Amino acid sequence: MQLTVIGTGYLGAVHAACMADLGHDVLGVDVDAAKIEKLAAGQTPFFEPGLPAVLARALASGNLRFSTSLEEAGAHGEVHFICVGTPQQAGSQAADMQFVDAVVDGLAPHLRPGSLVVGKSTVPVGTAARIVSRIAELTPPGSGVEVAWNPEFLREGFAVHDTMTPDRLVVGVQSEWAERQLRAVYAAALEAGTPWVKADLTTAELVKVSANAFLATKISFINAMAEICEEIGGDVHTLAEALGHDARIGRRFLSAGLGFGGGCLPKDIRAFSARAKELGLGQSVAFLDAVDEINLRCRDRVMSAARDLVGGTFTDRRVAVLGAAFKPNSDDVRDSPALHVARALIEAGADVRIHDPEATENARSILSAADYTTDVLKAVEGSDVVLHLTEWQDYRDLDPTALAGLTRTPRLLDARNALDVHRWRSAGWAVHTLGRPLV
């Protein structure tokens, strides 16, 4: 099919490359000319495992091209995927819809009769209905253009896998024709048995924000239990293990630590809460404000534990920060808990050196006051405390014995509860993890 993917960031670049790799004729479109130039040359503008190979294959097949022109997009596509960003608005909890609106306004006059405009961006409920009206205003009567919603659930770090083999496909459609078009787009996944959930536009929008609200709630639940454990002398790890054996609860997303961040969960729960308030339904999701507060308190708890570990002050203290990305296998630093802590450490007077396997360049662009290194040994050298803030495999593979000799004092705060505590302690480290009383 002739597809366009508008917005070629973390979501759109992967979607465009994968759809082309599956045999569709795809045009990727973005306003960022430098990004488009890179993608057209086969260079991925961000770190995503597996994407370079898919992009190279798709370009070589001739199925994938890139452009900055919405006019070209209109001429090319029978199905258009809107994948632009919906960040948090400055000074508000609500989503900033200017990028989605700009695409709709820019694309509508160029749409071919009978084309389908499919939203993939995560949006406040009611956006699709608004776009239906806007497109009706901007296209000639009887043009047969329809709008559908197809929320995306990919995880950065596993984006290619999740796009090629999603655990479900959700489509909000207004007609059987629109559903048939989307079934044709996703024929390969459907043949492999991927569950297909057909919904109305509103429900499809709601699926995405409620999925993120649920995941965020589960993470904040266990982090609230960690706060309690720290005060009363419990052990949140044993607690999570015991809870996780209950099939109704499950162990996933029940690891206490520094909490969630990134370009999705934090802004999505805030936007959901803001939209619910607009609709007079604020009470129904009032718990999301508590979820957000618990999550942000994780960062404060890490600061306070780190301060205790270095003797009550950060002045003249060297802190090694392991991790800058909001999660491993990504270079995305949007609302990264690790960088939030790093910034707070600097503000508190610490001398901070940050290591990350992939994200140092992105981190430097938003936190220039820190010292960065791509050599983890250099980060740890001369430190008074090591903070493990993003759980890359690289850090699990470190040799704690070799590292201990490099520090001023071998102290570790494992804020992701991902390192082998016994191994580090046997190598002479004082180790503290969240959710247990401070050692």
Output 88 or 417, the one with its CB closest to ligand NAD. Answer: 88
Classify the C-alpha dihedral 134-111-162-31 as positive or negative.
Answer: negative
Distances (CA, A) of 293 to 243, 286, 417: 23, 12, 21
Output 103 or 403, the one with its CB closest to ligand NAD. Answer: 103
Three-class secondary structure of residue 145 per DSSP: coil
Sequence-distant (≥ 6) Cβ neighbours of residue 219 within 8 angstroms: 253, 259, 260, 295
Least Cβ distance, residue 344 to ligand NAD (angstroms): 25
Question: Which one, of 361, 349, 338, lies nearest residue 413 by Cα?
Answer: 338
Sequence-distant (≥ 6) Cβ neighbours of residue 4 within 8 angstroms: 26, 27, 28, 29, 73, 76, 77, 79, 80, 81
Strand partners, 431: 412
Least Cβ distance, residue 397 to ligand NAD (angstroms): 26
Q: Which residue is nearest to ligand NAD (CB)?
A: 9
Active site residues: 264
Least Cβ distance, residue 58 to ligand NAD (angstroms): 17
Output 103 or 385, the one with its CB closest to ligand NAD. Answer: 103
Least Cβ distance, residue 408 to ligand NAD (angstroms): 38
Instruction: Quote the radius of gyration of the chain (alpha carbons, Å).
Output: 23
Residues in the chain, total? 439
Output 93 or 433, the one with its CB closest to ligand NAD. Answer: 93
Residues that bind ligand NAD (CB under 6 A): 6-12, 29-32, 35, 83-86, 99, 102-103, 121-122, 152, 154, 156, 263-264
Least Cβ distance, residue 305 to ligand NAD (angstroms): 29
CB 359 within 8 A of CB 294: no
CB 151 within 8 A of CB 125: no
The tokens describing 281, both together, are: 């339904």
Output 131 or 239, the one with its CB closest to ligand NAD. Answer: 131
